[in-house]
Amino acid sequence: MTTTLMIILIAFAFSAALAYMGRGYLAWVSFVAFGIFAWSTAGVNSPTAFKVTIGVYLFFAVLFGITLIRRFIVSAPAMKIVASMLPTIGDTEKIALEAGTVWWDGDLFSGNPDWQKLIDFKIPELNAEEQKFMDGPVEELCAMINDWEIYQARDLSPEVWDFIKKNGFMGMIIPKEYGGLGFSAAAHSAIVTKISSRSIAAAVTVMVPNSLGPGELLIHYGTKEQKDHFLPRLADGTDIPCFALTEPHAGSDAANGRSAGIVCRGSWEGKEVIGINLTFFKPYITLAPIAGVVGLSFNLFDPDNILGENKNPGITCALIPATTSGLILGDRHDPLGVPFMNGTVEGENMFIPADFIIGGIEQAGGGWRMLMESLSAGRGISLPSLSVGGAEVSCRAAGTYALVREQFGLPIGKFEGVRERLGRMAGMAYVMNAARKTTAAAIDAGESPTVISAIVKAYLTDGMRQSMNDAMDVHAGAGISGGPRNIFGRAYTSIPIGITVEGANILTRSLIVFGQGAIRCHPFAYPQVEAIMENDLKAFDKSLFGHINHIVKNSMRAFFLGLSGGMALSAPVGGPEAKHYKRLTRMSSAFALIADFALMTLGGALKRKEYISGRLADAFAWMYLASTALKRFHDEGSPESERPLLDWVMAHALYQIESSLIGVLVNLPNRLAAGVASILAFPLGPRYQPPTDRQVDNAAAALLDEDGIVREMLSREIYIPHASSPGFGALEHALDLITAAGPAIAKVKDARKKGEIEKASMLEMAVAARTADIINDGELGSIKAAEEARDDVVQVDSFAPDVYKTLR
């Protein structure tokens, strides 16, 4: 028995060495072969068993080790089997899969991320021109905005509209040669973040023209004539753009809309031209009610082969001036009361010339490719930036309120129930902004990160929802009473809009983050799919055995890291945070292994197993979010003030990743595969828990610390209103007054403890302390100002009955 065990251990070590040398299939063969020998040595015919074992080993070594033999005997049948398991991939799905680039997400999916690559990646600061714009027009715009008045008027004020247009907010992404600002993705993101902290309606108004739509599509695909005509008009706000994509029957499934265009000949400006007869109805279109030009997505048909032999060129994008005959900009929608412009666009049997197609007639049928290639930038910037603005306002205002508001004689920030919410808000604000900045920097670096953009869209909008809910809990009665004083109520009602648009989060989580991510980010999955589609046996053989090597290496890696908790790994940094890199690498390895087991056992059916793909998406997303938090901490110099936030984020992320992966294994239909994967990925069982009470309390304490370092750091991207502004501005002013009066208040409390004055309200005790010469007139005045401000900010708005009837 001892000899058998030793042989098995030697075989295992030899197999592991082969696996790490990239010979994964030989590693498995050697382990099986030597296992047979070890078992046989327990018998009486060991020499024969040894010969048989060597023979088996050599047979498989030749079969798998010689490429030509392997290709025709193994890979050819395997190719047929895999092809039968894959769902049919249509042209639109193929375009979507090929769109964009793979960046850091590919490292995380590999099971062995190169942390130095992420650390060395530079996130540049805004340039001087961009910072000047932030400090000037953006601050001025935020100061002009009164969100309560926007709601009552159901629109931005004429002065705000004029300011937005004159200062180029509509043309942030348009190059300077066309009159735009030509800003980076980082600047675009920072501007949306700050404006959204003041007004969601204003932020949406600014971000939509700079997201996926006419401007973006014209820049990349427009003809020279189209660019020269439209881009200057879009940049200065002469033409406000909208983009009509979704329909009642095609929301997330935008590729299957019913809007149709028939290629025909018709009269345009007195001449007969090739054109398109369009019929469409598009609801939910932001800025449609005031649009000067409409971007339209529709399915193009050419029954008479006017353009060529293809009778159905497919999805096409056109740019239609609002004055075009037959185009109807319909009534406004009411998106949960949030008063940004949103409505319908429709047309029936309306004629447009073919040169209205973005990119000209040559781009007929090229619309889906345009949309897929351009979607990453807008999806990765607009709603994630808006969400960070909401999360940072939630964190800052709730933290301030917890210092100002008192119950039972104490600031409510002293109570653990409140601190639990504050700790979570602080951690979420930290990681969300880290993900926002990292993603924007990747876009500026030339990446088009389809999967990462989907992650930040889905998980940051959901993070805003969590943070707003927590803030509402902390503010309680002040949070649920509408009026100018209410800080969160109006933004709170907008949350489902961000969750829904630009790809509903349910779809994004299950079908894009992992569904598309599994194909795009996996180092071998898409090459195999491509090889099958092109019937390329050589390419399939290479990717298949590369995939097998990948699985074996990750199996070994996951098992050993599971035993050691990842502590045997090296980290790119020293200090207490080194353990976070190691643990995240361990989770990456476990994720890669379990993802492969899911892909192997479910094949094309995984596309429909959204319970499983959703959990894999959660794990993948939190690996990305956690890695951006690590980068932020490193890039900012590893400050001790931020360590409690990083520790909360990593504890939360590791628990989310591990519990999601275990959820996959518990529910994987192939129980044998699930059992094997469980042993390899989690040999000692689950190891991570949610943030501990200490970690939560440390994060809350950092937010509430009197020095305000963390509070300022977590909110430096948002607008802090003037003290005269009801709600947020008044709350900040109250804290300033309370902080200034702190030493005097401490004297009064000390006198009360010593029995020198009677217990009463703070203001009454302050008067008594002044009478007893415990404090001076100046200190009494500071306490009065602080207590009056404290009293003011806990009040809520009320309205006369006739006024209330007019409120929106």
**Is residue 239 within 8 Å of 233, Cβ to Cβ?**
yes
* CA-based radius of gyration for the chain: 31
Structure tokens, 9: 């251990």
Residue 146 is classified by DSSP as: -
Nearest by Cα to 537 from 161, 13, 215, 68: 68
Measured CA to CA in angstroms, residue 636 lies from 188, 440, 624 at distances of: 22, 17, 18
**Is residue 292 within 8 Å of 346, Cβ to Cβ?**
no
Structure tokens, 147: 């969100």
Nearest by Cα to 98 from 622, 480, 526, 635: 526
177 carries an active-site annotation: no
Q: What angle do CA 457, 463, 469 make, to 5 degrees?
A: 140
Structure tokens, 721: 């209103």
Q: Name the residue with tokens 């021109």.
A: 129
Measured CA to CA in angstroms, residue 456 lies from 184, 475, 621 at distances of: 18, 27, 8
**Is residue 552 within 8 Å of 27, Cβ to Cβ?**
yes
Structure tokens, 243: 């983009």
Catalytic: which of 247, 346, 502, 642?
A: 502
Residue 111 is classified by DSSP as: T
Mapped to the 3 state alphabet, what secondary structure does 415-436 carry? CHHHHHHHHHHHHHHHHHHHHH
Helix runs in 41-114, H state only: 46-65, 67-70, 76-85, 91-98, 104-110
DSSP 468-517: HHHHHHHHTHHHHS-STT-SSHHHHHHHHHHHHSSS-HHHIIIIIIIHHH
**Is residue 193 within 8 Å of 436, Cβ to Cβ?**
yes
Helices 537-564 and 24-40 meet at what angle, rounded to 10? 60
> Measured in whole angstroms, how far is the alpha carbon of residue 18 from the centre of its chain?
39
Rounded to 5 degrees, what are φ and ψ at 294?
Answer: -115, 125
**Is residue 262 within 8 Å of 303, Cβ to Cβ?**
yes
**Is residue 188 within 8 Å of 181, Cβ to Cβ?**
no
**Is residue 666 within 8 Å of 362, Cβ to Cβ?**
no
**Is residue 783 within 8 Å of 743, Cβ to Cβ?**
no
How many of the other CB atoms lie within 10 Å of CB of 805? 8
Nearest by Cα to 580 from 674, 497, 645: 645
**Is residue 510 within 8 Å of 614, Cβ to Cβ?**
yes
User: Which stretch of DSSP H or E encloses residue 242?
Assistant: strand 241-244
Rounded to 5 degrees, what are φ and ψ at 307?
Answer: -90, -20
Rounded to 5 degrees, what are φ and ψ at 114?
Answer: -90, 95
Measured CA to CA in angstroms, residue 329 lies from 38, 280, 326 at distances of: 79, 12, 10
Residues with a catalytic annotation lie at 502
